[in-house]
Structure 1
Amino acid sequence: MNYDCLIVGGGIAGLQAAIQLGRYKHKVLVLDSNDGRSVICKNYHNILGYPDGVSGPELRGLGKKHAESLGVEFVHEKVEQAEKADGGFVVSSESGNKYSGKRILLATGVMDRMPPFPELMPCLGISVYVCPDCDGYEVKDRRTLVLGSGNAGANMAITLSYWTNDLVFINHEKKPADQELLEKMREKNIEYVEETIDRVLAEDDKFKGVRLESGKEITGDRGFIAFGGNEIKSGLAKQLGAERLENKHILTDPRSKMTSVQNVWAAGDVAAHSEQVTIAMGEGAQAAIWIHKSLLQDKN
């Protein structure tokens, strides 16, 4: 089957685009590997309409149900290859299946580099966070531990000093931080610990602190992850020849969200913008509107 649009990624941007395209009565297929940021976030706090927060899985579930009610199809597939074909594009999945479409939207997202502590996972979005713009407010006046590495961790600690004066940066990987950042942390009375973390201390979704390799325990009410080196999932854009920044985010037209390649769109965290759920929603809808316009032109 040749779909009107293939959407690679069933996160927030992909789902919002799918809903919009479904309302336009287009034949749409969402290919989702179910391993994005929104899968693991237990609570988003800064979304209109959800003053008490909403989890990533809940948003995804609502979005998928909404899109399916409009005729959008979903497959659980990890796309490995994307290429141009006659009249559109063909994508190949890890399992060997191929899917074709006239248009393609890349909503593949970003994945944070997380330390290998399973105790962190239930806490994400509830008492441990990754984005200061999304959740800096959640650590307001609370003792907060930044679990990180080098400059990424130092910068996060400095950023969070806007919300709280009780901060500890634990440089788990012992990667050197720039002297300028170390001095700025001293100025802001941010405690600096350069030692490997042995274990994260948590009770269900409540972060309590860490135990260091030396056996010393450092307690805290909230945690922030800042290891740098996040994975920008833009490999398919590279295969299709779309322009990317040096940091691998995909460049798009501000008005239409189309990439530098005709009929290839990108939306959400994989694109070059501030990584926010609300922005991903907007970009997904925006891309879908222009995908619709382009499909109408084919019929004229």
Structure 2
Amino acid sequence: MQIGIGLPNQVRNVTASTIPRWAARAEEAGFSTLATTGRYAYPGVSDTVALAAAAGATSTIGLLSAVLLAPAWPGALLAKEIAGIDGVSGGRLTLGVGVGSREDEFTVPGHGLPGRGARLESDLATYREVWGGEPVGNGPNPAVPAGTRQVPLLFGGYSARTLHRMVRWGEGYLGGSLPTAMTAPSFEAARRAWREAGRQGAPKLVVLAYFALGDTEAGRANVQDFYRLAPEEIATNAVLCTTGEMIEQSVAEYTDLGVDEIIFVPATDDLDEVTRLADLVP
């Protein structure tokens, strides 16, 4: 199983200049992926900005949005942003998307919380068209340079529609930072949906887990603050690893479940957390 690390872009009041330094250190430490957390109505750094900063600060490590609230964006605009980040990175980006559930995240007129699922269905086709170089805006020009690739997609969420989108458009499923007993059924459902749709091979399975190895109390407070308005089932069960033993247990449990990659998401923006985590994982 691969082991990635999150960027601290949605740690409350993150020092934004830490993000490119964090990215460079994570690449040096040998992590498989750098991942962002998507929120708008929170005092952090946008996932697209954080991913662009990480793309410019690194050259080999994978990049992932985990997850970006895609229906909060106009589809063609997001497609151009993502293509640009992927291009800057040299083709290292995977777009992880979800529909979101908090009304305050949806601030663009015409892109509110109601209808977000239907918008995403339409937007997924728009992404493919934009990345394929089709003209946009009723004019003759495409939005992206020639040679832009189709950025791979992962889907996060707990509904049957999430799995439908995954098997139609995506490469796999992304599970939240919850105990294995809660995430295992979602991973099995993703595998089953993949088989029933006749897709070849198996879906890529990625899971998240928070960690705080330095100031554990600050980390716990930050996670609680981030999920303060989340559904109670999620807010009260978010996994936070605070010891080496907990890190090892998470890796072992998800290895047993056949998950392809675990992303340890930082609960603080202390740059030394990258080294602390790297010292604990293979």
| TM-score, normalization by structure 1 | 0.29
| TM-score, normalization by structure 2 | 0.30
Larger radius of gyration: 1
Decide which structure has greater helix share: 2
